[in-house]
Amino acid sequence: MLDASSGRSRRFFHTLYSRARPTPRTALNGVLPDNRPMHLINADLHCHSHVSDGTLSPEALAERAHAQGVELWSLTDHDEVGGQQRACDAALALGMDYLTGTEISVSFIGETVHIVGLGFDPEADALRAGLATTRSGRRDRARQMAASLAQAGIAGAFEGALRYVANPDLISRTHFARFLVDSGVCPDTHAVFRRYLTPGNPGHVPHRWAGLGQAVRWITQAGGIAVIAHPARYRFTPTEEYALITEFIAHGGLGMEVVTGSHSTAEQSRYTDTALEFDLLASRGSDFHSPAESRTELGALPDLPGRLKPVWGALQHRIQRVPRRPLTALATAA
């Protein structure tokens, strides 16, 4: 149900992306057809459906994004592209432009870092194989998380978390968090991550994800752009953060999320400077997961600062666009 690799959709994406060109290094800083500067488009290029750890279907998310005024949308499920076809179809049917997306879990100097990929060919073999490998460790990890929670007196967490999973390949900490909230252990998911599932707390299991260079190459070799997700969320020293950014760029990474649901005003301003310093393209995304859990609504974010180069300027050739009516059709409709 959640796998978009039916014969029709494989052909669909193949046709769209078979003439993939190398990604331009520089963004277009032009204006939109309605004369707005490119950076002011309401782009939301980071959110999750129930194909990973969101609660809504790709179609329901598309409707919600459109209703919130999103003009350019990307569904970026964790380690998974199984919802891309449905998200793209739903977006275009609503009149909303679409970029393919995913958020890849990476291990870098012992920390988990998230790399968002945008505008790639979702049928690319190396990307699909890499994501499948990244997903494959999740079930064992979940069993170990449940064993650790059982030691802390919380029984049945594996089966409990599975009740919230729509994609059996993608069991995540968020599903455990939902189980802990609904079984009355914690009042909300944010409280869960303060007391459980995080380093030093019950339910935490260290895990080795993809390498930084691997994830960046899966994305770029599929014609997309790699973006460091929510940079303020990592517990890096300035030296470690410098290492992350410079290695990311050395592997071919081009972008950084500057405007995201979890950045404070000060963090946004700091990463605006960082993006300028390293000449990174800037992205914008809510990281919306669920109406009940997410603090930031789809598309309800500050504008991208005008000093930055929007990542969507460099991805114009990868955007799936709503067919515009020819002018003759407009004339007869009037």
Binding residues for ligand AMP (CB under 6 A): 53, 78, 105, 172-174, 189-190, 193, 289
Instruction: Name which position in 287, 309, 311, 313 contacts Mn ion (CB under 5 A).
Output: 287
Select the binding partner of residue 189 from Mn ion, ligand AMP, none (C-beta < 5 to 8 A, by kind): ligand AMP
- Check binding of 77 to Mn ion (CB under 5 A): no
Select the binding partner of residue 105 from ligand AMP, Mn ion, none (C-beta < 5 to 8 A, by kind): ligand AMP
When the beta carbons of 54 and 223 are compared against ligand AMP, the nearer one is 54
**Residue with the shortest CB distance to Mn ion:** 114
Angle made by CA atoms 158, 166, 214, in degrees to the nearest 5 = 85
When the beta carbons of 227 and 275 are compared against Mn ion, the nearer one is 227
Stretch that binds Mn ion, among 11-19, 196-204, 263-271, 279-287 (CB under 5 A): 279-287
Q: What is the DSSP letter of 86?
A: H
When the beta carbons of 75 and 154 are compared against Mn ion, the nearer one is 75
What is d(CA 44, CA 225) in angstroms, rounded to the nearest whole number? 15
Burial class for 36, CB neighbours closer than 10 Å (0-12, 13-18, 19+): exposed
45, 153, 232, 325 from 258: Cα distances, Å: 12, 40, 9, 34
Phi first, then psi: give them for residue 31, nearest 5 degrees: -115, 160
When the beta carbons of 114 and 309 are compared against Mn ion, the nearer one is 114
Q: What is the DSSP letter of 208?
A: -
Q: How far is the CB of 52 from ligand AMP (least distance, A)?
A: 8
Q: How far is the CB of 193 from ligand AMP (least distance, A)?
A: 3
Q: How far is the CB of 112 from ligand AMP (least distance, A)?
A: 6
Select the binding partner of residue 263 from ligand AMP, Mn ion, none (C-beta < 5 to 8 A, by kind): none
Q: Interhelix angle for 84-94 vs 58-67, to 10°?
A: 30
Instruction: Name which position in 53, 71, 97, 121 contacts Mn ion (CB under 5 A).
Output: 53
Closest CA to 121 of 4, 199, 257: 4
- Check binding of 80 to Mn ion (CB under 5 A): no
When the beta carbons of 190 and 317 are compared against ligand AMP, the nearer one is 190
20 near 224, Cβ under 8 Å? Answer: no
CA dihedral 93, 302, 252, 120 (to 10 degrees): -10
What is d(CA 135, CA 209) in angstroms, rounded to the nearest whole number? 9
Q: How far is the CB of 54 from Mn ion (least distance, A)?
A: 7
Q: How far is the CB of 287 from Mn ion (least distance, A)?
A: 4
Q: How far is CA 101 from the centre of its chain?
A: 6
216 near 249, Cβ under 8 Å? Answer: no
- Interface residues with Mn ion (CB under 5 A) are 53, 103, 114, 229, 287
